[in-house]
C-alpha cells in the first residue's frame, strides 16, 4: 500500500486533507521560494509546488508525495506572504473593493511519475477602511498567508464574493487531488 506524504508546513493544507478523510503523513523541507520568471504564472507556481515535493519524493521513492503553492494575484501583481505588517497593510489596501484571483498549484509525484496542475478562484473584497484593515491586522491572522488574509478565519469578514472552490483559496484544491489519486 502506497503512503501519501504531504510535503507542506501549512496547517491549513493538513486540515483540508484531513477534512476529506485522506490518510497521509507530513514530511517537508523548507526551500527557497524562487519563481521562474520565464514561465507563465500557473506553470511558475506548479514548478514551485514540484520543487517542494521533489526532495521529499527522494525519501519516499515508491510513494505519493504532494507539494503545493498558493499565490494571490491582482492584475499582474503577485501577492505572496507578507514580510511584515506594513506589507500586509499594503496588500489588503490594494485588495480592497477589487476582485483578485487566487491560484493554488499542486505537484504530485507518484513512484517517480509527476503530475502538476493549477486551480484558481476569484475573490472579491469589500471596500475596507483603514480602520478595518488595522483591526484585522491586529488579529495577527495575516502572518504566513498569501495576500495577508485567511478566508477560513476572521478574514472571511473582508470578503464579499467567492467564485470557485474555496479550498483553492485556503491552499489545496483537494477535489482535484482526489481525482488524481483515484486515477493512479
Ligand X SMILES: Cc1cn([C@H]2C[C@H](O)[C@@H](COP(=O)(O)OP(=O)(O)OP(=O)(O)O)O2)c(=O)[nH]c1=O
The yes or no reply on residue 145 touching ligand X (CB under 6 A) is: yes
Near ligand X by CB under 6 A, which window of 3-11, 55-63, 82-90, 176-184? Answer: 3-11
Per-residue contact string for residues 12-51; x = within reach of ligand X by CB under 6 A: x---------------x----x------------------
Q: How many residues bind ligand X (CB under 6 A)?
A: 25
Q: Are 66 and 177 in contact (CB under 8 A)?
A: yes
Nearest to 17 by CA among 127, 182, 177: 177
Minimum CB separation of residue 184 from ligand X in Å reads: 21
Residue 135 falls in the annotated catalytic set: no
The yes or no reply on residue 164 touching ligand X (CB under 6 A) is: no
Q: Are 77 and 41 in contact (CB under 8 A)?
A: no
Sequential DSSP letters for 38-105: TS-HHHHHHHHHHHHHHHHHTTSTTSEEEEEEEEEEETTEEE---SSHHHHHHHHHHHTTSEEEEEEE
- 16, 151, 158, 177: which one binds ligand X (CB under 6 A): 151
Active-site residue, from 23, 27, 63, 69:
69
Nearest to 149 by CA among 131, 164, 171: 171
Site residues for ligand X, 102-131, by CB under 6 A, read 102
CA angle 31, 76, 54 (to 5 degrees): 20
- 4, 16, 53, 68: which one binds ligand X (CB under 6 A): 68
Q: Whole-angstrom Cα distance, residue 60 to residue 70? A: 24
Minimum CB separation of residue 136 from ligand X in Å reads: 12
Q: Site residues (CB under 6 A) for ligand X? A: 8-10, 12, 28, 33, 52, 68-70, 72, 81, 102, 144-147, 149-152, 155, 169-171
* Active site residues per annotation: 69
Amino acid at each position: 500500500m502506497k503512503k501519501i506524504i504531504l510535503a507542506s508546513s501549512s496547517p491549513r493544507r493538513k486540515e483540508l486533507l484531513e477534512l476529506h478523510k485522506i490518510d497521509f503523513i507530513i514530511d517537508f523541507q523548507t526551500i527557497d521560494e524562487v519563481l521562474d520568471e520565464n514561465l507563465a504564472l500557473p506553470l511558475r507556481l506548479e514548478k514551485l509546488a514540484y520543487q517542494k515535493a521533489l526532495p521529499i519524493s527522494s525519501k519516499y521513492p515508491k510513494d505519493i508525495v504532494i507539494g503545493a503553492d498558493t499565490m494571490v494575484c491582482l492584475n499582474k501583481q503577485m501577492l505572496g506572504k507578507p514580510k511584515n505588517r506594513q506589507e500586509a497593510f499594503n496588500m489588503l489596501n490594494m485588495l480592497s473593493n477589487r476582485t483578485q484571483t487566487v491560484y493554488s498549484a499542486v505537484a504530485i509525484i507518484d513512484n517517480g511519475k509527476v503530475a502538476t496542475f493549477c486551480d484558481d478562484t476569484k475573490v472579491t473584497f469589500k471596500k475596507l477602511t483603514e480602520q478595518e484593515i488595522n483591526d484585522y491586522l491586529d488579529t495577527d491572522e495575516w502572518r504566513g498567508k498569501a495576500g495577508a488574509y485567511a478566508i477560513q478565519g476572521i478574514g472571511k469578514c473582508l470578503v464579499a464574493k467567492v467564485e470557485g472552490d474555496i479550498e483553492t483559496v485556503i491552499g489545496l484544491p483537494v477535489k482535484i487531488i482526489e481525482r488524481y489519486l483515484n486515477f493512479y
